[in-house]
A and B are shown apart, each in its own frame.
Chain A
Amino acid sequence: MKKKKTFLSILATALMLIFAICALMPFFFLLISSFKPGSEMIRNGLQFKFDFENYSLVNYGLLTTDRDGMYIDWYKNSVIIMVLQVVVGLFLSSLVGYGLAKYRFKGRNLIFVLVLLVMMVPVEILILPLYKQINTFGMINTYAGVILPFVVPATGVFFFRQFAIGLPTEIMESGRIDGCGEFSIFFKLMMPLMLPAYGAMTILLSMNSWNAMVWPMIVLRTTEMQTLPLGLQSLLTPYGNNYDLLLSGAVMSVLPIMVVFLLNQKTFIAGMSAGSVKG
């Protein structure tokens, strides 16, 4: 019996290891390729051959020098957009989620159903009218244009609502007795209790913002305003003359989110499964 158990354990671990290796394979191969001239990848595709003596860090030097350091601009744009989007998104969605969870008022159910509706409708069908709208606001090619159409993330509202439902209502009552207004109850008493939810949502929202492609691609028209995914995409020219920068740039673009992930794996995973719990 015991022997059978160890055998099963080895088998199960081996199977999962294969899946894990498959999951990491792209990073490994792109990392390897980033030490070689990009033209080689275009010509041969990615291969199982490794010739370590030809590896160099030349591609990484291009990050700051190529095309007047355009890559640095992209990085800066990505960071600014992410920070703005996450801070504003967290604040507004927690406000709404808390309001939906902790107060009984007319129209509450309707608003919650609308939140679910927004979560269910593909954003992509809205890109044309949103583009026209942002155009009339004069926000094409601005950070505001990227952020505004998604300023109250519905997933965030849903998540904060689910989280706030579980918070003790007595705290609000005692706050009122102490003479706190409704807003200072939120800011001083309830917000600190929602910190774990803020942690999980920060991760989810920053991940979405950092990797967003379709909408920023439509709003950001000039090269120096582009974010990392767009800039890297623009390097994918048929002639392959930019692939050196593309490879090192792609590797460096994953780094921040990877570091954040490795530091907060638990919160990260909690944030990801946030939507499904109590669903």
Chain B
Amino acid sequence: MANNNNGAKQISASKKKIRMQDIAPYIFVSPFVLYFLIFFLYPICQTFYQSLCQQVGFAPPHFAGFANYKLLMDEFFMKSVQNSAMYTFFTCLILIPLPLILANLINSGFVKQADGIKSAMFIPALTSVVMAGLFFRYAFSSNAEALFNSVLTSLGMPAQGWLEKRTTTWIVLVIFCCWKWMGVNIVYYLSALQTVPKDLYEAAELDGANSWQRFMHITVPCVKPTIIYVLTISIYGGFSMFAESFTLFNGARTPGDIGATIVSYIYAQGFNRNNFGIASAAGIVLLGSVLIINIIQLKFNGSLGKEAE
């Protein structure tokens, strides 16, 4: 499209007669085109190239084929990918259906003070990860009196060293994510629910459908585009999660890599060790996984192609 852009300008210079109306759109979109070329396409190509080169520190890079991708197969990276995948899977498992059910509940009119509750649930999304991380770090402290452990012990379960083991770290991170995005997803679903035609429900009620059937056969199909949207951004968000783990563990490296994610791997390799080649290869893996999973998901849900309209 850069050629189109230049082409249009040249034509305008040679033929004065051409209408401003035909050139204007190219000027309007030119900031994005420039932005795309300089800060998106070029860096992506650079990442591809870098991922095929070996470079340590500031020595000149040399071409190394897929050596970086082979080097990637270390335990640190495997754990990062596994952590990111688990995190994405469980956050989607909770953050796709539960907010829809809650939004439906709010929409049903049974909930009093719905506006206040909506606002309260939205507030976590406004908070910086640093502040929220501070809370989660100390609410999940390992001593028995800390918030979550005191709940556990009052239920007769042993206190946990939450951020010392891998599975419990996953739990903390998933709770963190659910806390932050639950309200936002409810808002997404609520705005989608407004578009569901009311008479569909009435007709279903006449046919004797119970509320669960109405939910599954009317609500879910009607808000499907929003479900897909939420799923797409959740996959994106899940795989690119970094700041949460960074604040919980106060760094890109965590003891035994229990909190490592793909992005923290990129950060640690790139900025802490100056291993740009390996970090770039990890970036390409991240890009690939997000795009592939989202394409499969969009294809499966039958909404690929519609989006470009």
Contacts and interface: CB of A to CB of B under 8 A. Distances in A.
A107 B143 CA distance: 61
By DSSP majority rule, is chain A's interface helix, strand, loop, or mixed?
helix
A98 B28 contact: yes
In this complex, which of A13, A123, A133 has the most chain B Cβ atoms within 10 angstroms of its Cβ? A13
A209 to B, nearest CB: 11
Contacts of B284: 125
Contact of A125 (B20, B24, B116, B287): B287
Interface in A253-279: 253-254, 257-258, 261-262, 265, 268-269, 272-273, 275-277, 279
Contact of A129 (B42, B243, B307): B42
Contacts of A50: none
B191 interface: yes
Contacts of A111: 1, 29, 32-33
Given A29-B147, A265-B119, A211 B127 contact: yes
A124 B84 CA distance: 14
Nearest to A181: B20
Interface in B102-136: 102, 105-106, 108, 110-132, 134-136
Contacts of A218: 271
A222 interface: no
Contacts of B114: 16
A131 B47 CA distance: 12
B261 to A, nearest CB: 9
Interface residues of B, number: 108
A104 B301 CA distance: 30
Interface in A166-182: 176, 181-182
Interface string A153-192: 0000100000000000000000010000111001000000
A247 B290 CA distance: 36
Interface stretch (B69-77, B164-172, B198-206, B229-237): B229-237
Interface stretch (B89-97, B181-189, B213-221): B181-189
Contacts of A262: 119
Interface in B212-270: 225-226, 228-230, 232-233, 236, 239-240, 242-243, 246-247, 250, 263, 266-267, 270
A144 interface: no
Contacts of A42: 138
Interface residues of A, number: 107
B267 A127 contact: yes
A273 B188 contact: yes
By DSSP majority rule, is chain B's interface helix, strand, loop, or mixed?
helix
A54 interface: no
B206 to A, nearest CB: 18
B132 to A, nearest CB: 6
A250 B127 CA distance: 10
Nearest to B298: A120
Contact of A128 (B40, B106, B179, B280): B280
Given A13-B113, A125-B266, A229-B130, A272 B184 contact: yes
A80 interface: no
Given A9-B111, A148-B39, A16 B129 contact: no
A48 interface: yes
In this complex, which of B39, B102, B134, B233 has the most chain A Cβ atoms within 10 angstroms of its Cβ? B134
Interface string B274-309: 001001100110110011001000000000000110
A118 B40 CA distance: 8
B138 A41 contact: yes
Contacts of B86: none
B22 A105 contact: yes
Interface string A99-130: 11011111111111111101011111111111
A83 B190 CA distance: 30
A58 interface: no
Nearest to B46: A129
24 contacts: A21-B120, A22-B179, A26-B136, A26-B139, A29-B135, A45-B143, A46-B135, A46-B139, A48-B147, A96-B29, A99-B28, A107-B4, A108-B25, A120-B291, A122-B287, A126-B44, A148-B39, A152-B31, A213-B129, A251-B131, A254-B126, A258-B123, A261-B122, A272-B187
Given A5-B110, A157-B32, A238-B250, 18 more contacts: A8-B110, A13-B110, A19-B102, A20-B120, A21-B120, A44-B143, A45-B138, A103-B28, A114-B36, A122-B286, A126-B39, A127-B270, A128-B283, A130-B39, A130-B43, A131-B270, A207-B126, A218-B271
